[in-house]
Amino acid sequence: MGKQIETFNSTICHLITAARSSATTAEKLDLLTTLAPQALAVKGCSLLLLDGENKKLIYAASHGLSERYLRKGLIEAEKSMPETTHGKVVKVKDAASDERLQFPELAQQEHIASIMGTPVTIRGTVAGSLRVYSRVSRDFSAAEENFLLTVAEVAGLILESGQMRRKESNALSQASIGLEKGHVLPVRDAVFAHQSEEEFAKLLDFYQIEWLYEPRSFPLKWEEGRITEMFTPDFYLPGLDLYIEVTTLKPELTRDKKRKVRRMHEVHPDVKIKLLARHEYDILLSKYGYGPLAGTKTRGAGQVLYSTERIQTRVRQLAEEISRGYEGQRPLLIGVMKGVFIFMADLMRYLTVPAEVDFMAISYYEVEKGGAVRVTKDLDINPEGRNVLLIEDIVDTGMTLSFILAYLRTRKPASLAVCTLFDKNVRRLADVELDYVGFAVPEEFIIGYGLDNREEYRNLPFVALLEHEQPPDQPPPNQQTE
C-alpha cells in the first residue's frame, strides 16, 4: 500500500507541474490519460466531455484504447455510467453485464473487465467524466478512488486554463464546457491557426456537417518508450468518421504535412484521414466565387474529354441498367436543379420502364450570409413509399449529396438509390454510396452537358476541360464540386 501511495503522490505532482507548463491543452490531457492508468496498473484511461446540450459525451483524450472502441459512436450521457455526470463516482466490476454501460459488448471485445469513472468539474459544474479501464475484474479501493478524483480535479484545472487561453491552436473545441448549444461548433468559438481553417469550418457548418477542431493528437514516433512526435489533424467529422488536415502553407511545410499523413496511415491504419491541399482548397472555394481562383478569367472549353457520341452511348447504357434494376416497378426520378436537367432528360428518353420525374432545389453557400443549406424548392410528388432514384450530374466532395440523401430519407421512400453521370471520387469527403455511375472523371475542372462555370458552358453537347488565363504564381485550377 505504501508503494502505491508513493506512486500516486508522484503522479499527481507530475501532472500538476505539467498543468502549469506552457504545453497545449491537448498535450497536457494526453499526458494525464497516459500517467493515470500507469499509476493504477490498468489497461487505459479516457477523458470524455459533455457537449453543449449535456446529452452526449465526446472523447477529448485517451490512452490504451483501440480506435475501434473510441469510434463506437457518440455516447449518450444518460446511458453510459450516468452517475459520473451527476457528480458521483462509479465502479463497474463486470463491464460485460453492467446495465450502466451503453456498449457492454464492445467493452468485452476490448477486453475490458472493470471500469471506474469520476466526474470532471470546471468551476463547480460537471463537464464530463474521467474513466480508467482494467483488463481483469477488480474492486477499486478507496485509495484508488481518491487518486482518480484528484486526477479528475487536475483535468478540470487544465480544461479551465484552456478555456481562458483560447489563443492556443490546440484549445479543445466543441467538447469544451461553456460553448453555445448545438452539435456544430460555432466558428466564433474556435480560435483557428489559419484563415483557411475558419473558411472550411463555415463551409462545414453550411452543409450541417458536425465537426470538432483539433480534438485529438496522435503519436507518430517513439524513442525508448517515449513519444517523440505527435500529429493533431485540424478537423474531425464524427458523422463521416473522418479527419481532415487543411494545408495552405509554404511548400516545405506542406511536404511535412504530407509526410505526417503518410505516417498516420502507417501507424494508425484504421483512422481515416484526408489532406486537403492548397490547390484543392482553392478550387473548393472557387465553386462559390471566393478565393484566389474565383477571379481568374476563362478562355473557354479546352480539351474534349467526352464527346457527344460517347456521352449518349453511356447514358443509354445507364438507362438499360436502371430499367433492369427497376423492372416491374414505377420509379420516381428526382433531380436537383440546375445542371442535372440535360442528363436527366436524355436518361428518361432511354428508359424502358414507366417512371415519374420531379425536381427539387437547395440553397448554395455564400460566405457573407452564412446560415445552413436548406431546400428552396420542395418536391411536388410525395416520395413516401416510392422507389426513388436520385439523379446527379456530378458527385465530387459528396457534401451536397449527403445532405440531399438525409433529407429524402426523412420522407420515407421505399428505396433510395443514386445515379450520377460523373463521379470525381478523388476528392470525396462524405462517404456516399453511388448505385449507377456513368464515368469516373479525373481530377480536372470540367464543363459542358449541364456542367457550368459561373452559369456558362452548360449548353455544350460534349464535356471538356475548362481553360483559364493563369494568374502569376498560381497553380492551375483542376477540380470542381458537385
In the numeric block, which cell numbers belong to residue 214? 483539433
State which amino acid sits at residue 5. I
CA 457 – CA 451 distance, rounded (Å): 7
Look at residue 314 and give its three-state secondary structure.
helix
CA 357 – CA 351 distance, rounded (Å): 12
Cβ burial, residue 112 (10 Å; 0-12/13-18/19+): buried
CA 448 – CA 456 distance, rounded (Å): 9
CA 246 – CA 377 distance, rounded (Å): 33
| Phi-psi group of 239: left, alpha or beta (phi > 0 → left; psi -120 to 50 → alpha; rest → beta) | alpha
Name the nearest CA neighbour of 15 among 166, 148, 173.
148
Determine whether 282 is an active site residue: no
Please tell me the number of Cα atoms within 13 Å of 348 on its side-chain side: 18
CA 150 – CA 152 distance, rounded (Å): 5
Residues 6+ apart with CB under 8 A from 193: 169, 234
Catalytic residue among 234, 396, 435, 452: 396
Name the nearest CA neighbour of 310 among 302, 318, 320.
318
Pairing mode, strands 415-423 and 387-395: parallel
- State in Å, rounded, how far the first CA of the chain is from the last one: 64
Residues with active-site annotation: 396
